[in-house]
Copies of this chain bind each other. A is one copy, B any other.
Amino acid sequence: MACVINVNLPQQSYEIAIAPGTLNTLGEYLGKLNLGKKALIVSNPTIFSLYGEQVLTSLKSSGFQVSTCILPDGESYKNLDSIKKIYDIALENRLERSSTMVALGGGVIGDMTGFAAATWLRGINFVQVPTTLLAMVDSSIGGKTGVNHPQGKNLIGAFYQPQFVLIDPEVLQTLPVREFRAGMAEVIKYGIIWDAEFFAQMEASPHLDALANINPELLETILKLSCQAKADVVGQDEKEAGIRAILNYGHTIGHAVESLTGYTQVIHGEGVGIGMVAAGQIATNLGMWTEGATARQNTVIVKAGLSTQLPSGLDIEAIIDALQIDKKVKAGKVRFILPTEIGAVTITDQVPKDIIRKVLQEMM
């Protein structure tokens, strides 16, 4: 397995390389792309202790002057204070407009590094080296970068594309199973919103709940088709003026649940899993989707080891209030992405609060 997927955008196109065992060749990739002479690796302590040395060595042996910024792990540190730390290290090491920030980690590291790269000297080079399944198939692609506001997820940010994404699937071997399952939520999402055949392949697999239970061919399919789906959608609508919003399937209620549980009790992919279950039920209640399709979706979600229930102790009215802060709110109305069949969704702001309330109550 080794393939390249192109993300084609009007102003800047770039490649996603999916290539096992190539983490220690990152310097060679970047050398070919002509990305300045200085690189700043941003990572967290866990990932840096596992993979930092080989990335550092690879960059140095390709002639880069390398500095590092190790940020504490977790969504609760995805804030402006962490961005300030990246700025300080960029300043100390005199990063220039032609220098490169390298995100080595999961979605949190990728989003923060991208935002720092977007805003340091009004924009320097940026490379993604995702180390979680979720970052590989979703957050490292498409240029959404940013941090959380104390009162809402990803409210601060920028659209800023990487110059290159390197996916080395071998690093998934050290990924905690909970993180693997969270990533599977985004993978399943692509099946529901974009690719019915891909969904059927996941349906046919006896297990989806751990890397060890998935055969290499299916893993290859998962990475390839997910990245391709993301690249296709983003290529049509980089800044979410229209169709790109379908990638937010499961995210409307998902974000609210994450936010209300402080971003730790429910992690992003788990929130998306719960959000997809809710969106499916809302669509069924509105007569847009069938009970049968809802059941098929939820079976795959359960097979991936994900919850279909709200975490205990959550107040339903608080969830409904939190929806109002979502970036997707337009003219005061919450927009939902709802499935119409396996492989296709629609966007609507016509969801009565009573239906949201009813569906959430059933998920308690």
**Chain B residues near A152 (CB, 8 Å)?**
91
**Chain B residues near A96 (CB, 8 Å)?**
329-332
Asked whether A149 lies within 8 Å of B87 as measured between CB atoms, the reply is: yes
Q: Which of A114-122, A270-278, A310-318 contacts B (4 or more CB under 8 A)?
A: A114-122
Asked whether A122 lies within 8 Å of B94 as measured between CB atoms, the reply is: no
State whether the Cβ of A5 lies closer than 8 Å to any Cβ in chain B: no
**A91: shortest Cβ distance to chain B, in Å?**
6
Asked whether B94 lies within 8 Å of A325 as measured between CB atoms, the reply is: yes
State whether the Cβ of A151 lies closer than 8 Å to any Cβ in chain B: yes
Asked whether A324 lies within 8 Å of B119 as measured between CB atoms, the reply is: no
Interface residue count for A (Cβ, 8 Å)? 37
**A171: shortest Cβ distance to chain B, in Å?**
28
Interface 1/0 per residue, A298-317 and B, CB below 8 Å:
00000000000000000000
Given known contacts A80-B80, A87-B149, A331-B37, A158 and B118 CB-to-CB distance under 8 angstroms? yes
State whether the Cβ of A157 lies closer than 8 Å to any Cβ in chain B: yes
**A334: shortest Cβ distance to chain B, in Å?**
11
| Closest Cβ neighbor of A156 among chain B residues | B119
**A9: shortest Cβ distance to chain B, in Å?**
11
**Chain B residues near A239 (CB, 8 Å)?**
122-123
